[in-house]
Structure 1
Amino acid sequence: MDKTGKHSPPASFGLQHHELPQRPMWQIVMVASIAAGVQFGWALQLSLLTPYVQLIGVPHVWSSFIWLCGPISGMVVQPVVGYYSDKCTSSFGRRRPFIAAGAFLVGVAVFFIGYAADIGVSTGDQMGAQHKPRAIAIFVVGFWILDVANNTLQGPCRAFIADLSGSNSRKIQTGNALYSFFMGVGNVLGYAAGSYSHLYKFVPFTKTDACEVYCANLKTCFFISIALLATVTILALSLVHEDRYVPEHNEESKSGKQMVFFAEMFRALKGLSKSMWILLLVTCLNWIAWFPFLLYDTDWMGKEVYGGTVGEGTLYNRGVRAGALGLMLNSVVSGLVSLFIERMSRWSGGVKRVWGGVNFLLAASLGMTVLVTKLAESTRQYTTLPDGTRTALPPNVGVKAGALGIFAILGAPLAVTFSVPCALASIFSNDSGAGQGLSLGVLNLAIVIPQMFVSVLSGPWDALFGGGNLPAFVVGGVAAAISGIFALCMLPSPAPDELSKVSGGTMH
């Protein structure tokens, strides 16, 4: 807040924004709609790619290492792009060049991922081999480009919305809410596409000798993703114009003395308040809890719940599709709950009670994965095929309902995780006089570092206990419980009115 009591647009990593004129609401809607295309791709990553990497020959114990790209690019690419987009003097605008570049890179990445198996076979991989090293290499390159591209898109999109809102705090709040809404739309569409097993029939050329049904479905889903992203991005960038950014004279005179982004980040870490350090600790533990499930949720459905084996029969693929349906339910619940977080904080007596409470719900839900797995194993039935092979049947209705119920229930703590930490970081930075951009950049470290930790250790940890996903889920449940205790006992709690002023609606 400034001295007049009005909310100023957040500074991005120490660079103050110029006073910008307000734009019509339809322009904010157009830019916010890009989130649907971005999140459609993220939903496909979360639901389909971990099983896919195992199908092309990456062992389960190593598949988590591929996911290191997300945390690394989130820690480096997004804040750096945001920092330099503030200073961009292109005639195309400050934000639009980065948004266009990100969308183009998504298209390149989707080509590499979708055609990894085909390119691998054409360059020397054996058709029926269990391990396809060339396909794996092409997939990893595409996967890393995709994560870099998505992180290149998201920061400038949010900054563009703030630019279009000028200094009108109500429009900033509405823009953030619209961005969250379109994220939910993209999630639901992405998970729905991932759960449909015959999507490839609409694009029959996607199925090849090297790319069977599951691979063809993935390829088709990514084609839809790039078509959606290209449509909303082209419309937004064509209809919503930016004026060329011209730095003020005092900014130009100081440009040679400005510290680079990482130096500013280091300085911000040294000056953090006690409240901010506690917030970082709770957030770090919270993401240690979340990331194993986000990484292996559909794999858990295919292996533990459905009893399938990667690359053998259709049972595993049916489980993965059921997991994608569960993620769609999760997104619906998350979107609905996000509309009531402020009311929940008022009713419970403080936002830290809401966050602490849902962390215990997260811990209980991760613990329930063990119960559902044991029930699936104890009630599993088998049949004998005509060739004499004994194969498992899908789980009964009760087990399916229990597994999908876990996905749906987890939508509530996920909504809080996506909104409350960012809002608290904004409040604590206001109290200490720190820049909003720097504070949110520091908070991002508490999100991506745990993801790197889980990506490196979850595969070997699961292998140490005989394989499967439950060991990582149990560790996540313990971390969630500890995070809930720290949130309730140590985290300062701002007034609900103060939270609603800075949160800008739901933040994802």
Structure 2
Amino acid sequence: MLLLNSVVCGIEICACSGFTYIPPLLLKSGFSEENMSLVLGMGPFLALFIAPVVGRASDRCHSSFGRRRPFILVLSSFLIISLYLIPFGESIITFFIGKGDLSKMLGVLLLTVGSVLLDFTSQTCLTPCEALLNDASKKTGQQERIFSIYSLMVSLGGIIGYLISAINWKSNSVGQFFGGEEASVFSILIFIFTIICVQQFFNVPFVLRQLAYANFCSWTAVMGFNLYFTDFVGQVVYHGNPNAPVDSESGNLYDDGVRMGSWGLLLHCITSAIYSFFVEKLVEKYGSKMTYMMGMTSFSFAMTGMVLVPNVFVVILMAAMTGFAFATLTTIPFILVSKYHEDKENINGIFLKAMYLYFFDVITTTSLSNNGIGTYIATLDSAYFLSQVLLTMCAGYIVRITGTITAYMITAGFMGVFSIVFINRIIISKQDLIILCNERKVEGII
């Protein structure tokens, strides 16, 4: 199980560490808050359309390397390319055409392309990875355990990623060797992820749609925090300015705030990693819905705390608390999707009449059998991608309208509250379906 999750861990290392630097890099290269948000939304926007295609294609793949691994390999290769483009794009262009305004402009273009590519590949690659985990746990009764380990490895990747970005590389020999902080971080990421890769050789059912709504709101909240937290700490808590001249007091304060924000995100992942050990027990005791709801309630409380008290110690403590929600989000939805799909497979194999247990609103058995777990996980992931598309499209404009960076955290908090509302509508049992069918006046379902 740990080996299967190693690529997921590597992806999370690259995504967490890389996206600590990408917003500051974009701002320093001349992007406004609004345009930076649009760039950050392009990767999830592409993933929104391509991830379902990848999921369906992997269900039908008959490669000798397996159904999922060819897609993981291709997407991982593009992820590594993005890690080269972000810090070294301008240097590559300068090598070919010399230094000047053109090389600087093309360098910014490659930074943008690399940022979008890293976001797109790091998210789309999760779809075949998650499907591979389901394949490995099929008919073993260990879905809860394998996805708990998945959550642990995601959190571990975050811990390593944010730890890498929290270190001041300029003050040690590694930074001197690679020629700067960003170059050091991305070179380390390239090395780590390459090693990991070498080691590895929409008709939506109603129940899934309800889960996707909750997933959408939850991820909009959590990603609103993750994407903009370092910028929030740099500007609101440390009163720095990302557009200040290099080595100016305001610029240095912003950089210090970004590093402190990385420590907060590190604690966020440590909390998530520890909490992931208890998710299975909490689900057994309180149920999936209550466990999910507790995670998002703690997140909303954390956002409220850091908005009302923008003190560095309070903010970092609240950042650590958000780890409960992250561990919940990387566990509960996949447990439920596996449960839905497992019942569908049993239904197809045993008795047709009972196929309505979870998929009562799917008309034909053909439509059921054509869709594998990769398709349903892709549907769930699409809610995750869509949340980031809408978030990044709107966040910059919300900041401009309100005139405060604090709006990032306020928006995340509100979405956390909305997620709690939708979590309460998730279908987790036959009793939930009976109530639903009575409300919809559906006959002969149960």
- TM superposition score category, shorter chain reference: 0.7 to 0.9
1:150 to 82, 97, 122: 122
Q: What is the SS of the residue equivalent to 2:100?
A: coil
Q: Is residue 2:294 matched to residue 1:357?
A: yes
* Matched residue, 1:193: 164
Distance 2:332 2:145 in 1: 17
Distance 1:47 1:191 in 2: 8
Which runs of 5 or more structure 2 residues have no equivalent in the other structure? 245-250, 344-356, 360-367, 431-446
2:387 to 450, 455, 458: 450
Residue type matched to 2:18 in 1?
Answer: Q
Deviation at 1:102, TM superposition (A): 2.5
* Matched residue, 1:308: 240
Q: Is residue 2:320 matched to residue 1:320?
A: no
Once the two structures are superposed, the pairs formed by residues 122-271 of structure 1 within 5 Å of their partners are: 122=98, 124-125=100-101, 133-151=105-123, 153-164=125-136, 167-170=139-142, 174-198=145-169, 201-207=173-179, 216-237=180-201, 265=202, 268-269=203-204
The answer to whether the Cα contact below 8 Å between 1:95 and 1:157 also exists between their aligned partners in 2 is yes
Distance 1:79 1:112 in 2: 26
TM-score normalised over the length of structure 1: 0.71
* Matched residue, 1:432: 358
Distance 1:318 1:426 in 2: 43
Once the two structures are superposed, the pairs formed by residues 80-119 of structure 1 within 5 Å of their partners are: 80-119=53-92
The answer to whether the Cα contact below 8 Å between 1:360 and 1:480 also exists between their aligned partners in 2 is yes
Deviation at 1:459, TM superposition (A): 0.2
Q: What is the SS of the residue equivalent to 2:168?
A: coil
Deviation per CA, 1:436-492: give whole Å up to 9, x if none: 4333332223222222111111101101111x321232232222223223433x334
Distance 1:450 1:39 in 2: 18
Q: What is the SS of the residue equivalent to 1:340?
A: helix
Query: Which shows bigger deviation, 156-165 or 228-237?
Result: 156-165
Deviation at 1:308, TM superposition (A): 0.8
Deviation at 1:92, TM superposition (A): 4.4
Deviation per CA, 1:51-85: give whole Å up to 9, x if none: 11111111122211111133223323333223323
Distance 1:77 1:278 in 2: 22
Deviation at 1:194, TM superposition (A): 0.2
Deviation per CA, 1:178-208: give whole Å up to 9, x if none: 443332222111100100112563152532x
Distance 2:146 2:336 in 1: 19
2:3 to 24, 30, 33: 30
Deviation at 1:311, TM superposition (A): 4.2
RMSD between superposed Cα atoms in Å: 2.7
The answer to whether the Cα contact below 8 Å between 2:238 and 2:257 also exists between their aligned partners in 1 is yes
Are residues 152 and 483 of structure 1, via their aligned partners in 2, closer, same or farther at CA, if it must alter by over 3 Å? Answer: closer
Residue type matched to 1:284 in 2?
Answer: F
Residue type matched to 1:447 in 2?
Answer: Y
> Which of these two proteins has the greater Rg computed from alpha carbons?
1
Q: Is residue 2:33 matched to residue 1:60?
A: yes
The answer to whether the Cα contact below 8 Å between 2:169 and 2:184 also exists between their aligned partners in 1 is no
Which runs of 5 or more structure 1 residues have no equivalent in the other structure? 1-27, 208-215, 238-264, 374-398, 496-508
Are residues 414 and 148 of structure 1, via their aligned partners in 2, closer, same or farther at CA, if it must alter by over 3 Å? Answer: closer
Are residues 355 and 161 of structure 1, via their aligned partners in 2, closer, same or farther at CA, if it must alter by over 3 Å? Answer: closer
* Matched residue, 2:405: 469
Are residues 124 and 44 of structure 1, via their aligned partners in 2, closer, same or farther at CA, if it must alter by over 3 Å? Answer: same
Q: Percent identity?
A: 24
Distance 2:42 2:188 in 1: 23
Query: Which shows bigger deviation, 100-109 or 435-444?
Result: 435-444
Distance 2:167 2:384 in 1: 31
The answer to whether the Cα contact below 8 Å between 1:285 and 1:483 also exists between their aligned partners in 2 is yes
1:421 to 310, 326, 333: 333
Deviation per CA, 1:391-443: give whole Å up to 9, x if none: xxxxxxxx321111011011111211222223233444533245543333322
Distance 1:461 1:403 in 2: 21
Distance 2:226 2:326 in 1: 11
1:370 to 291, 301, 307: 307
* Matched residue, 2:444: none
1:341 to 242, 257, 279: 279
* Matched residue, 1:48: 21
Distance 1:133 1:57 in 2: 11
Q: Aligned pairs, how many?
A: 395
The answer to whether the Cα contact below 8 Å between 1:64 and 1:295 also exists between their aligned partners in 2 is no
Distance 1:164 1:424 in 2: 17
- The answer to which structure has the higher helix fraction is 2
* Matched residue, 1:377: none
Q: What is the SS of the residue equivalent to 1:481?
A: helix
The answer to whether the Cα contact below 8 Å between 2:130 and 2:377 also exists between their aligned partners in 1 is no
Q: What is the SS of the residue equivalent to 1:115?
A: helix
Deviation at 1:155, TM superposition (A): 3.1
TM-score normalised over the length of structure 2: 0.80
1:494 to 397, 414, 429: 429
